[in-house]
Chains A and B, each alone.
Chain A
Amino acid sequence: GAGVSQSPRYKVTKRGQDVALRCDPISGHVSLYWYRQALGQGPEFLTYFNYEAQQDKSGLPNDRFSAERPEGSISTLTIQRTEQRDSAMYRCASSLVGGRSTDTQYFGPGTRLTVL
């Protein structure tokens, strides 16, 4: 079956603009995660959903970042008033059950965000 998909794959924006990044998890997966990966670094946890409920948003760096998953499937990560330091690869992952560190997370290809 289809894996995790993300769109757009590449996004170039100007400083101060808002961007919305989309994640479509594997069908039937309960949990959805957002990570940010800076160049030369490993993925860094941002937030996590169980169905439509945002269970953990401790990794969101500031209030310009928000995420939603209104119907428990597709999720959107929104960055308002983008800054150059927001430039990174944004990765989405999903897991069948979730909420446990033992669950395998399946990753999408990521969205490369560049803020000019």
Chain B
Amino acid sequence: AQSVTQPDIHITVSEGASLELRCNYSYGATPYLFWYVQSPGQGLQLLLKYFSGDTLVQGIKGFEAEFKRSQSSFNLRKPSVHWSDAAEYFCAVGTPNTGNQFYFGTGTSLTVIP
């Protein structure tokens, strides 16, 4: 069965510092991978997605993620964090076998300190 693991429940970074949020998945083939951000009182917003091709994916708000098949990972990165990036981040997996279903990780809460 498919699963998604986000090992870090909570991360704190200083404004201007770099950020990496980890995501590992379990699936026999190449899954479809997504990162969503959830701000308080808001719905989940798609940051980026990977289906195939170039393993480095650029998203909105200056985020990028890299698919590494050998590590079953899809980590989210940002070179310089802004205070407005404080939010909950979710990694999600979709697969051809599951059609419309997404499997979400448990999320990583990001705090940005001035």
Contacts and interface: CB of A to CB of B under 8 A. Distances in A.
Interface of A: 3-4, 31, 33, 40-45, 48, 55-56, 59, 91, 93, 98-110
Interface residues of B, number: 27
Given A42-B90, A101-B32, A102-B32, A109 B43 contact: yes
Interface of A is mostly: loop
B45 A40 contact: no
Interface in B18-74: 31-32, 36, 41-46, 49, 51
Contacts of A105: 46, 102
A91 B45 CA distance: 12
A42 B45 contact: no
A99 B99 contact: yes
A4 B94 CA distance: 21
Interface of B: 4, 31-32, 36, 41-46, 49, 51, 90, 92, 94-96, 98-107
Contacts of A107: 36, 43-45
Contacts of A56: 99-101
Contacts of A110: 43
A51 B10 CA distance: 38
Given A42-B105, A108-B43, 16 more contacts: A42-B92, A43-B90, A43-B104, A91-B44, A99-B99, A99-B100, A100-B99, A101-B31, A101-B94, A101-B100, A102-B32, A104-B49, A105-B102, A106-B46, A107-B43, A109-B42
